[in-house]
Amino acid sequence: RHINTRPLSLPVAAMPADAKPRALLPVRPLLLLLSIPFLSLLLLYGYSSSSAPPLPNAAAVRASPPNPHIRMRRGAAFRSYDDYLRHQLNKTLDPRLRRVWATRDWRRKVDAFARAFRALQAEGLLSNASRALCVGARLGQEVAALRLVGVPDAVGIDLAPAPPLVLRGDFHAQPFADGAFDFEFSNVFDHALYPDRFVAEIERTLRPGGVAVLHVAVHRRGDKYSANDLLDVDGLLALFRRSEVVRVSKVDAFGLDTEVVLRKKRSP
């Protein structure tokens, strides 16, 4: 499946008039695409978190207030935050899924993400100089795609690290300083147990003027690891209190149907 976007008729904030895409840096796409799956397979069962900060405990992550546009799953009523993390890790560390992600799925997903990122470059929303973060990146196909299109300063976070592309980190409490990134991408919003905290961490770690891009499913139930269902895109947009909407578009992205692009306000 490939990613295509088509604008919806929603209010859109104007893009800065002086925003222009920058020329792509020279890359070696074939070498990148061949070497990264090999590294991922090599490290499939040998993850190391010695250099990563510890994941937060339940006291560090507070429950989200009710949102009429976001339905929390009944099964998401975990006894503790650690139970939630263990449940998510059951998918993240599933050996069968990881073999699929590192082999059969690798090339098609890197190619699809690369097409989406090139489109964002053409709109001036992503540049070669951007410091980029992929939130909930698993083995890091989206990180590989960013590097493929000429964005070398890109990294991902996930509950289980996948070096060299993905660091250990919880999207409810990102292990980065305020304003650390120019660009953030995620397609795992439905896995957020606390949607407002998920969004707050993206806004915290984005610099003023930085861009956030989310791929989400609207009115569509996710898999058994999803913690929430997004009933209306307005429910997501309302959580971004420090950002302006650039556009909302249709997208065909591995079961997700909507691309949301936001820019963090330059002043509170």
30-47 pLDDT, tens digit per residue, is 444 445 444 444 433 333
pLDDT at 65: 64
Ranking 17-21, 46-50, 234-238 by mean pLDDT, the lowest is 46-50
Q: Name the superfamily (CATH) of residues 71-264.
A: Vaccinia Virus protein VP39 (3.40.50.150)
pLDDT at 78: 80
Amino acid (one-letter) located at 145: A
Buried b / exposed e over 51-84, threshold 16 CB at 10 Å, is eeeebbeeeebeebeebebbebbeebeeeebeeb
> Percent of the chain scored above 70 by pLDDT?
74
> Full-prediction pTM beyond 0.85?
no
169-224 pLDDT, tens digit per residue, is 999 999 999 999 999 999 999 999 999 999 999 999 999 999 999 999 998 777 78
Q: What rounded mean pLDDT belongs to the chain?
A: 82
Whole-number Cα distances in Å, 151 to 120, 139, 177, 207, 237: 12, 18, 20, 17, 27
Task: Give the domain ranges of the chain.
Answer: 71-264
Amino acid (one-letter) located at 128: N
* Closest by Cα among 209, 152, 115, 208 to 28: 152
Higher-pLDDT residue of 164 and 25 is 164
Give yes or no for a contact between 131 and 267, defined as CB atoms under 8 angstroms apart: no
